[in-house]
Amino acid sequence: MRDLARSDHPLPAKGADAVGLVNVTKRFPGVVAVDDVSLTVRAGEVHVLLGENGAGKSTIVGMLAGLQEPDNGHLTVGGGRVRLTSPSGSLEAGISTVFQHGMLVPTLTVFENLVLGDTWWHRPPRALVERRIAELQRDFGLDVPLDALTGELSLGQQQQIEIARALLRDSTVLILDEATSMLTPAGADELGARMRLLAGRGLAVIFITHKLSEAYRFGDRISVLKQGQFAGEIPPEELRGQTEVDAVEHMVRLMFGTGSAAPASRRATRAPGPVRLAVDALRTEGGAEVLALRDISLEVREGEVLGVAGIDGNGQKQLAEALAGQRPITQGSVLLDGTDLGRASVAERRRRGLRYLTDDRLSEGSVGAFPVSENTVLKEIGAPPFWTAGFERPGRIAAHARDLISTYAVRTPGEATPIGHLSGGNIQKVLLGRELTGDARVVVFNKPTYGLDMQNITASRKRMREIAEDGRAVLLISTDLDELIELADRIAVIVEGRIRGTLDNDGSGEMRLRIGRLMVGDLEAAS
């Protein structure tokens, strides 16, 4: 934006390296978000980054946008090694980002948003901006009403303004993070056409999505990420030769298939017992922010593990919360051992033996500043034997906690240590111990191994297997297909708040692909 009239970054030749990652690793507390990823984005290409939520796409965007720096490895711009330490550094390197959640100030006008970030004493002349915007309107069909209040525009229009801003800055690399998630199908097609146009002008466009058909239709090159790792690439020459069906199948294989045979340690299925948990035509309320559950019906039998697979954010959390009594249900019923739970409270459900292990260990599952001991009885505050006549019995709580620590092999200096000081895996053990205390009949797990290291994952899975073998019923919600194939007897696939299908887990190598196809659905439904 320094000089609107002049190009700061002459566009590199098509096919030249625009920006890249070299052996980049980025860790967050308890999670390796990006694990040794290398990729190169070329000028004149629409490069699709494809992957499920949690695959590391957003972290890569964050690093390219200067919001985070890699822990290991480095970034390149124009083939040379760079450090992008701030968003302004990234902009100066010619990289503009359109974030998933818009980054315009709603209370400013469009013009004001366009010139935001310039030096304070200077404001680019309005006439100049108008001229450049007119060009963009002509060349790319961007609709930019300069005097409109930004917050009053539709999300699609706001996105066009962000793209216009990137072009005003003469960026050479344009990142579009989940750019179609807020758009109508027509809007998405329009954006796709615009991406092709921009790439045609020599820009490098990075398009992040989890929709396979968009990846095929808009992309030149597709890189697939899986749990923070680079899972494979479909180069342009290959992509062009494929039909949409073939390409989507290829992507499904990259996203879901490891190519290896079934996990060796798969749990042996035993004869199912009586139905413990029955969910019938369950519905919850939805809104702009939360997906509604629509007619969910499930059955979990004694000694059985029912897996729920799905791309993150398709209603898994709502399902778990509705079962646990944390989210009101609008229709349908939940039966525990044949009794309708109706409007039973969280505590009542827990008392009757329905236990829920949240995926949100830190904020929902535990109170970080409290000692381990108090966290073990967090769901029984005021109840005997840990409280008598309203008074806390610290001795009993501590003894109970020590017991749990040794049973579940929690690595902690002691029961008085604040639980927030423990690692994710050890917090998970404490929570698991808490949920299994007493008469647990049905245990609902939501992403139980998310963010844990390998050792803790193995231990957690072993524990879940034991719970089922003890004759309890387990509902295992997970985004990790390997985990589901290893543990579940049957796997239900949830898509947009509905159960799209339930598969008997035969443990074969075909399972992943069968689940994957259900998850992305047929082409129309997926986009």
Partner 1 sequence: MENLLTDAFLSSLLTGAIIAGIPLLLAGLGEQMSEKAGVLNIGIEGMMLFGAYLGFLVAFTFSSVWLGFLGGIAGGMMVAALMALFCVRLGLNQIVIGIGLTLGAEGLTALLHHFQFSRTYPRLPAPVRADLPLLTDIPILGPSLFGRHPVVYIALALVVIMALLYRRTNLGLTLRAAGEKPAALDVAGGRVMMIRTAAVLFTGAMAGLGGAFMANIAAGIFIPYMTGGAGFIGIVLAMLARGRPFWVLTGALIFGGALSLTTALQVAGSNIPTDVIQMLPFAAVMLVLVLYGRKARLPAALGLPYERGAR
Q: Which residues bind partner 1 (CB under 8 A)?
A: 1, 62, 65, 67-68, 86-88, 91-92, 97, 99, 103-108, 112-113, 115-123, 165
Report the nearest approach of partner 1 to the CB of residue 95 (Å).
Answer: 11
Residue 115 or 300 having the CB closest to partner 1: 115
Residue 121 or 391 having the CB closest to partner 1: 121
Residue 115 or 199 having the CB closest to partner 1: 115
Report the nearest approach of partner 1 to the CB of residue 177 (Å).
Answer: 11
Determine if the peptide bond prior to 328 is cis (ω within 30°): no
Report the nearest approach of partner 1 to the CB of residue 4 (Å).
Answer: 14
Beta carbons of 95 and 64 less than 8 angstroms apart: yes
Structure-block tokens of residue 448: 């139980």
Report the nearest approach of partner 1 to the CB of residue 8 (Å).
Answer: 13
Report the nearest approach of partner 1 to the CB of residue 118 (Å).
Answer: 5
Report the nearest approach of partner 1 to the CB of residue 162 (Å).
Answer: 10
b/e per residue 203-236 (b: at least 16 CB within 10 A): bbbbbbbbbbbbbbbbbbbbbbbbbbbbbbbbeb
Sign of the dihedral through C-alpha 510, 511, 512, 515: positive
The amino acid present at 140, given as its one-letter code, is: F
Report the nearest approach of partner 1 to the CB of residue 136 (Å).
Answer: 17
b/e per residue 462-494 (b: at least 16 CB within 10 A): ebbbebbeeebbbbbbbbbbbbbbbbbbbbbbb
Alpha-carbon distance of 184 to 266, in angstroms, equals 42
Report the nearest approach of partner 1 to the CB of residue 233 (Å).
Answer: 27
Residue 2 or 462 having the CB closest to partner 1: 2
Q: How far is CA 462 from CA 139, 199, 389, 449, 467, in A?
A: 59, 49, 39, 11, 9
Query: Which letter does DSSP use for residue 11 in this model?
Result: P
Q: How far is CA 294 from CA 208, 300, 305, 324, 342, in A?
A: 28, 19, 22, 17, 18
Residue 99 or 230 having the CB closest to partner 1: 99
Residue 49 or 166 having the CB closest to partner 1: 166
Given its phi and psi angles, is residue 329 left (phi above 0), alpha (psi -120 to 50 degrees) or beta? beta
Residue among 56, 79, 78 at smallest CA distance from 68: 56
Alpha-carbon distance of 513 to 506, in angstroms, equals 13
Sign of the dihedral through C-alpha 65, 229, 445, 293: positive
Residue 22 or 67 having the CB closest to partner 1: 67
Residue 97 or 316 having the CB closest to partner 1: 97
Residue 86 or 260 having the CB closest to partner 1: 86
Report the nearest approach of partner 1 to the CB of residue 113 (Å).
Answer: 8
